[in-house]
Amino acid sequence: MMELTGKKALIFGVANDHSIAWGIAKAFHAAGAEIGFSYAVPTLEKRVRPLAESLGSDFIEECDVTSDAAIETVFAKAKDRFRTIDILVHAIAFANREDLAGRFVDTSRDGFLLAHNISVYSLVALTRAAMPLMPEGGSVLTLTYYGAEKVVPKYNVMGVAKASLEATMRYLASDLGPQGIRVNAISAGPIRTLAASGISGFRDYQRSFAGVAPLRRNVTIDDVGASAAFLSSDGARGITGEVLYVDSGYNIMGMLTSEDE
């Protein structure tokens, strides 16, 4: 569908074949991109390596994004392997399970800082590290959710982190635009992934979502992948600082009543 032939992409955030980052990787591969992968912790390698190799990738490196040294190392390896890159995908988020249940007002200082460190500051750190590898410009993409804008029960600290992520994306887009680097976010509808399983009541999100979204269905990692390929392609060369909704139209609804009610 989209043309990414000749482009090189670094993708952070594949945990398994349910990951949104995996949907993005498959779409990039189908569009002709060469892909490098980075995963969070050593135990993930056994799952990520076979997936990456199935797309012909030989760059599969660990990086805990809370570590500046780890980020420096992974980008030094990427420079050795690819010389330059065209696309950076940030599909990373984390919050303590107890902060994704109960009341937001009870969020601890540590839980708040942890969620923001992993889910938001990492976009700044990865983008800064990627800049020298993008001398001819490029595309940076992150993943957000509607809970950034409206209160979604139990999403709590992650909603606040996503609001910060969206603002971060816009400030980065402003800084990097003069160098031809575009920075955008995809706001995806709820998809059952490892990260999503940490949110209490996630099944209810998906059920009520499909009942009221104009397209009357949940979105898939392949839907997100196709839109990510578009945003990273030259077809989106005039787009930066934008949140693109891949959510079956859910965000346009002003009154959330199901047809079935």
113: contact with ligand NAP by CB under 6 A: no
Taking the complex as a whole, the smallest distance from the CB of residue 126 to ligand NAP amounts, in Å, to: 9
Find the helix or strand (DSSP H, E) in which 27 lies: helix 20-30
44: contact with ligand NAP by CB under 6 A: yes
Which residue is catalytic, options 39, 146, 155, 245? 155
Distances in Å between the Cα of 173 and the Cα atoms of 82, 119, 186, 244 are: 24, 18, 14, 14
Distances in Å between the Cα of 213 and the Cα atoms of 18, 195, 218, 219 are: 22, 22, 8, 10
Segment 56 to 95, residues that bind ligand NAP, using CB under 6 A: 64-66, 91-94
Identify the residue among 195, 213, 228, 236 touching ligand NAP (CB under 6 A). 195
Q: How far is CA 138 from the centre of its chain?
A: 16
188: contact with ligand NAP by CB under 6 A: yes
Q: Is 155 a catalytic residue?
A: yes
Q: Rounded CA gap, 53 and 59, in Å? A: 9
Give the interface size with ligand NAP as a residue count (CB under 6 A).
27
Identify the residue among 2, 52, 120, 143 touching ligand NAP (CB under 6 A). 143
Q: Is 145 a catalytic residue?
A: yes
DSSP state of 19: S
Of the candidate spans 14-22, 49-57, 73-81, 126-134, the one that interacts with ligand NAP by CB under 6 A turns out to be 14-22
Taking the complex as a whole, the smallest distance from the CB of residue 219 to ligand NAP amounts, in Å, to: 9
Of the candidate spans 2-10, 104-112, 129-137, 141-149, the one that interacts with ligand NAP by CB under 6 A turns out to be 141-149
Identify the residue among 2, 51, 118, 183 touching ligand NAP (CB under 6 A). 118
Show the site string, 201-240: x = touches ligand NAP by CB under 6 A, - = not.
----------------------------------------
Between 195 and 236, name the residue whose CB sits nearer to ligand NAP: 195
Which residue is catalytic, options 39, 145, 205, 245? 145
40: contact with ligand NAP by CB under 6 A: yes
| Binding site residues, ligand NAP, CB under 6 A | 13-15, 19-21, 40-41, 44, 64-66, 91-94, 118, 143-145, 188, 190-191, 193-196
Active site residues: 145, 155
